[in-house]
Amino acid sequence: MDCLILINGDSGTFKTADLSAFETHVSSEFESAGYTMEMVRIDEVGMDSALSLARSSTAELLIAAGGDGTVSALAELAWKSDRFLGVLPGGTMNLYARTLNMPDDLFEAASALAQGRADTADMATANGVSFINQYSVGVHPRAVRLRNKMDYESRIGKIWATLRAMFSVMTDPPSMLVELTRDDQDAETVEFSALSVSNNVIGTGHDLFADYYNGHVLGVYRTPRVHQIEAVRLIFDLITGKWAENDNVLIEESRKLTLRFPKKRRRAQALRDGELVDLPDMIQFEIHDNDLKVWVPKSSVAKDA
């Protein structure tokens, strides 16, 4: 099988990793397994050029070695071109890599992927644009805007900056109105400080990633405007993985979801797979069952297996 590996050396884990040793290991593992492979450094050619190379490549397997933003961009390309997506955990949180049951260690993950197998995963879309993890409105994008103004040089530094930004935003949490319609139910208008839609249901007891890549449902999470003490408790519960037990978190599931924002600020933003995007007046979410071809470790078990 031909494969193309896009490596983002600016991603969280790679900032402190031995990239030369990693590339040597990847080449050895994949060539030994019979792949014909090419590696491209995103940090050297730029994301647009790297994606253009992937688009024109004839490789059947496209591998993203980087963070969730890198994975999300390559996932959309793989989805639209009906090719396999592979993931190596080179980012800060590596949420989708963990959903695909990839080992946390970069070198172990490369070995597991080289010996991997084909499967299919669900793809979520917001107004037709794909996302692999979450689409968030309210607190989360505001915290990311603040974090992006901070200086950090490592994966741990980025995590610490994110926590500082979250605490800062939650001292005066935003409040927004949304008209929410789930599946064929009647619309309801609610006020919230945080609202997220996930590609499959987020698991508990760990970071915010889905336990399964093909559970065929959107997770819908919202939090009303909270006071400072409640906000601090919520952040603590997020850190410890106990967020689902928090009384201020409402959890629902849906196949299709429509959000309308009747009083949206002109420059309001959302967060799609960790990247800031403009928030539209209306968003239509949908889950596409088994629509993304993925390459996963042999030990991975699908929910619908």
Dihedrals phi, psi of 17, to nearest 5 degrees = -95, 160
| Amino acid identity at 17 | A
Map tokens 């979520």 to a residue: 124
**pLDDT given for residue 30 in this prediction:** 97
How many residues are recorded in the chain? Answer: 305
Specify the pTM: 0.91
Phi-psi region of 241 (alpha: psi -120 to 50; beta: other; left: phi over 0): left
How far, in Å, CA of 61 to CA of 15, rounded?
25
Closest CA to 39 of 27, 29, 31, 47: 27
Q: What is the pLDDT of residues 18-64, one digit of tens each?
A: 999 999 999 999 999 999 999 999 999 999 999 999 999 999 999 99
Give the pLDDT confidence score for residue 302 in this predicted structure.
67
Q: Which residues of the chain carry a pLDDT beneath 70?
A: 153-155, 301-305
Which pLDDT does position 165 carry in this prediction? 78
For the chain, domains (ranges, CATH) are 2-115 (3.40.50.10330), 131-289 (2.60.200.40)
Structure tokens at 147: 């974090």
Q: What is the pLDDT of residue 13?
A: 86
Q: What is the pLDDT of residue 116?
A: 97
Conformational region of residue 299, where left means phi above 0, alpha means psi within -120 to 50, and beta covers everything else:
alpha
